[in-house]
Amino acid sequence: MAGRRPVNTAALTPVFVRLKLSLLRNGLRQSSGRAAAFVASAVVTVLLAALLLFGLILLRGTAHADSPLVLLTGLLTVGWAFMPLFFPTGDETLDPSRLVMLPLRPRPLVGALLVASLVGVGPLFTLCLLLGSVLAVAHGPAAVVAAVIAVPLVLAVCLALARAVATANIRLLTSRKGRDLAVLSGLVVAVGAQLVNFGAQRLTGSGSLAALDPAADVVRWL
């Protein structure tokens, strides 16, 4: 046992990906209604992602196109940070306390959990928005190189942030208080809708994306 080699990230990652897929598959098998809801939400999300991707590509060459994209990136980051509090997934791989008895080092464990987080509709939706964003503003070889680095980096930050928040609050999310907290998700959605409505009114009133520059400057500073 003393001569056993430590498990590295490359060896551990496929195990956690298969575990994530198994949890998802078994969860859908438990209820036909749950499976139907998942399929319907996945189809709607993919269609919405495709439409947004097409819309973002249409911004290419538009003046001040970077402002809404900065706001979109900030909104994605905030969404990934707070959504685990309101929509706990019940994914047991989010709880590292279940893995403390296994001979796993922290670095490979964190890497494997992060890669396993890519399995799902949410990461696909985020990836489509990020790809559309870089396609809208990337001009020239230097911008393409920066985009190749930025897209996986932003996606990794979003996933790591969501996992950190969910892990830090795993006991809250599985308690009655956590379920009560999920009721507040409607308020968060309402506030987000109002912010989107406010941005749409600003764009309609000015007729230019330049109206979003002040808000984008604040997000850039943050």
pLDDT tens figures, 74-92? 888 888 887 776 665 545 5
Give the structural domain span for 180. Answer: 9-221
For the chain, the domain total comes to 1
- Higher-confidence residue: 220 or 39? 39
- Taking CA 68 as the corner, what is the angle to CA 65 and CA 69, rounded to the nearest 5 degrees? 80
Question: Any idea which residue has 């969501």 for tokens?
Answer: 162
Whether pTM exceeds 0.85:
no
Q: Is residue 1 part of a domain?
A: no
Structure tokens given for 56: 């973002």
pLDDT band at 1 (very low <50, low <70, confident <90, very high): very low
Q: pLDDT, tens digit, for every residue of 189-217?
A: 666 666 666 666 665 555 566 667 777 77
Crossing angle of the two packed helices 106-116 and 9-29, in degrees rounded to 10: 40
pLDDT of residue 23: 79
180 within a domain of the structure (yes/no)? yes
Mean pLDDT of 157-179: 71
**2 within some domain:** no
Q: Which residue has the higher pLDDT, 108 or 205?
A: 108
Query: b/e per residue, 102-140, with b = 16+ CB within 10 A?
Result: eebeeebbbbbbbbbbbbbebbebbbbbbbbbbebbbee
**Does residue 43 lie within any of the structural domains?**
yes
Q: Which residue has the higher pLDDT, 170 or 3?
A: 170
Stretch 6-22: mean pLDDT, rounded?
A: 76
- Is residue 4 included in any domain, yes or no? no
Position 153 scores a pLDDT of: 92
5: Cα separation from own chain's centroid = 34
